[in-house]
Amino acid sequence: MTATNLQKAASPSSAEPIIKAVDVHKNFGNFHALRGVNMSVQPGEVVVIIGPSGSGKSTFIRTINRLEEHDKGTIVVDGIELKDGQNLDAIRREVGMVFQSFNLFPHLTVLQNVALAPMRVRKTPKAQADKRALELLERVGIAEQAHKFPAQLSGGQQQRVAIARALAMDPKVMLFDEPTSALDPEMIKEVLDVMKGLAGSGMTMLVVTHEMGFAREVADRLVFFDEGNIVEDTTPDEFYNNPQHERAKAFLSKVLGH
Amino acid sequence: MPRSTYQQLLAVLVLLAVGVFTFLRVRAGFEANNITLDWSIFSKPSPLTKGTYLTTILIGMLLTIRLALIGIVFAMLLGTLVGVSRLSQNPVVSRVAAAYVEFFRNTPLLVQIFFWNFGVINVLPAPIKNWLFDHSPEQWAVIAALSVYTSSYIAETIRAGILSVHKGQTEAAKSLGLSGSDVLGRIVLPQAFRAVLPPLGSQFLNLTKNSSLASQIGVAELFYYGTQVQSYTFRGFESITAITVAYLVLSLTITFFLNLLSRRLALPGR
């Protein structure tokens, strides 16, 4: 950790971290995907995670809502430790996730996609859930598409619906797993704009992305993964201007070189 | 004329030639064997049921419809349950489901009908047995056999449907905090059913036609009455033709409704 980072980590508030991962390990068969990851995230922080493919960055954020079970170490989200026998749904209610491939429910309309979880999980009455879903669709700029099916929307629109769907549960944390990687270039901006708005509203966000511009503009912290561990944890500017680790330097020269 | 028009014309001509040839051959065969067809038998009074022989066929058809509809409902319920169980994380559940599929899929349906009719029904508890004896037990034996037999195929179809649903769907549903039963019932199964509707439809058709085996334990459905009409009238060609047409009408009606359903369930934009 650099000095800048320590300063940064202490700055937002010295409250309890909303996510605390200690010595997290994960194996896929013989592949050691996560090798003792430590990370704390304060409420309201926007953390961008970058790194080469296979470095464990996606696996790590998937352990935070237990789509992957970690083999060793502890993860505490909003005061609840993730382990067998815990009420996982309680944690998943508080942690929204946006996927690379959108994963909208194709047999439900856009509105139903957004209103389903509040109705089923939070037992919100239908009228109220629909009203809130429309507000969220308004916020991501696609209220007029509410009664269409996902396959009738463009990729960028689908991803914005996916963001609205996650927000409908009023999560405390939002996880983004390469949200723009499957999009055509002209649609990336509309999704990033929504994410910037969300960051501005004070949402705690963990974002795995290759969008360097987004990272520099929005992130409080930038975390660089390599071979299953965090090798740099710093501010975006510090990372670009003064990368410490060899792998980070090599990665940057490749990403910025084209 | 464009090439495709020539090809269509040629196909029609070939079909026509085959049709005419077959018709002439059959007629020559009938003449050589001194067979004349007499369709008027169907308007003659039937000693088997009330009304004419046509009425007899229709009464049989009605029972076939009843067996098929009840059978399809039970087969779907059982098949979905077993198909989902086969994918259970619990090894006991998934193995029992697999054994169920292999047992009922790999023994002949006729044997299973006898098994229910002469075996299972006799060892049921007295109250159920007494109720059954007042409510045509053979019919229930056939319904049980048809449902269970077909459910083993439906289970495999449903399993394939569930596996065809993208893993991301389950992940997205779980990450929203939906319960396991909601993930299955509201996200996975609706997509799985859509994916396997055509092969499911084939199973419905198979069940309907397989119900003809009920005749072997004296259930008076379409095939039973059809063959009775043949025995009473000595009109084999006419009786079998009537049976064939009746099954065709049933099957094509089911197909019509399945197509209607698949159009209703189709998702816009896909």
Q: How confident is the model at residue A8 (pLDDT cuts 50, 70, 90)?
A: very low
What residues are paired with A9 via a beta bridge? Answer: none
Q: Bridge partners of A40?
A: A20
Amino acid (1-letter code) at residue B230: Q
Q: Which residues of A touch B182 (CB under 8 A)?
A: 120
**Is B171 in Cβ contact with A99 (below 8 Å)?**
yes
Query: Is residue A40 a contact partner of residue A20, using CB atoms and an 8 Å limit?
Result: yes
- What are the start-end ranges of the H helices in chain B? 3-32, 53-86, 91-105, 109-114, 126-133, 137-164, 167-175, 180-182, 189-195, 197-210, 222-233, 236-265
CB burial class (10 A; 0-12, 13-18, 19+) of residue A60?
buried
Nearest to A37 by CA among A52, A12, A53, A19: A19
Q: Taking the alpha carbons of B11, B14, B18, B23 in that order, is the dihedral positive or negative?
A: positive
The Cα–Cα gap between B71 and B148 comes to 9
Whether B13 and B115 share a structural domain: no
Which residue in B165, B175, B178, B264 has the most chain A C-beta atoms within 10 A of its own C-beta, making it the best mutation to test that interface?
Answer: B175
Same domain, B88 and B221: yes
The mean per-residue pLDDT over the stretch A25-54 comes to: 92
Whole-number pLDDT of residue A2: 41
Residues B49 and B126 in one domain: yes
B218 touches chain A (CB under 8 A): no
Return d(Cα B83, Cα A163) in angstroms, integer. Answer: 33
What is the maximal distance between C-alpha atoms in chain A? 55
When pLDDT is averaged across residues B55-73 and rounded to a whole number, the result is 96
- Which residue of chain A is at minimal alpha-carbon distance from B192? A107
User: Which of A66, A87, A99, A107 to mutate: most B Cβ within 10 Å?
Assistant: A107
In this prediction the ipTM stands at 0.88
State residue A14's pLDDT score. 55
- Domain shared by B26 and B70, yes or no: no
- Verify that B32 and B53 share a domain, yes or no: no
Within a domain: residue B207? yes
Rg from Cα positions in chain B: 24
Q: Which of A151, A157, A213 is nearest to A190 (CA)?
A: A157
Task: Say yes or no for a CB contact (<8 Å) between B267 and A107.
Answer: yes
Q: Which residue of B has its CA nearest to A149?
A: B268
CATH number for position B76: 1.10.3720.10
For residue A80, the chain B residues in CB contact (below 8 A) are none
B168-202: per-residue pLDDT in tens? 999 999 999 999 999 999 999 999 999 999 999 99
Per-residue pLDDT, B90: 94
Mode of pairing for the β-strands spanning A173-177 and A95-98: parallel
- A contact set with B (CB within 8 A): 65, 67, 88-90, 92-93, 95-97, 99, 101, 103-107, 116-117, 120-121, 148-153, 162, 165-166, 169
**CB pairs A-B closer than 8 Å:** 78
B139, B215: one domain: yes
Residues B148 and B26 in one domain: no
Residues B132 and B203 placed together within one structural domain of the fold = yes
Residue A257: pLDDT band with limits 50, 70, 90: low
Are residues B11 and B81 part of one domain? no
Residue B270 lies in a domain: no
Tokens representing A184 are: 């055509």
For A120, the closest of B172, B175, B182 (CB atoms) is: B182
Please tell me if residue B177 touches chain A, with a CB cutoff of 8 Å: yes
Distance CA B260, CA B22 (A): 35
- In chain A, which residues have their Cβ closer than 8 Å to the Cβ of B186? 116, 120
> Do B72 and B59 belong together in one domain?
yes
Residue in B closest to A67 by C-alpha:
B171
Per-residue pLDDT reduced to its tens digit, B234-267 = 999 999 999 999 999 999 999 999 999 999 999 8
Do B170 and B214 belong together in one domain? yes
B270 at the A interface (CB within 8 A)?
yes
B91 and B31 within one domain: no
User: Got the DSSP string for B72-118?
Assistant: HHHHHHHHHHHHHHHT-SSHHHHHHHHHHHHHHHSS-HHHHHHIIII
Q: How far apart are CA A112 and CA A252, in angstroms?
A: 42
Is residue B168 situated within a structural domain? yes
Question: In chain B, what residues touch A116 (CB-CB under 8 Å)?
Answer: 176, 178, 186
Pairwise CB contact (< 8 Å): A116 & B175: no
Q: Which domain holds residue B242?
A: 41-265
Burial class (CB in 10 A: 0-12, 13-18, 19+), B159: buried
pLDDT band at A1 (very low <50, low <70, confident <90, very high): very low
Reduced to 3 states, what is the DSSP secondary structure of residue A43? coil
Domain count for chain B, please give it.
2
Residue of A nearest to B180 (CA): A89
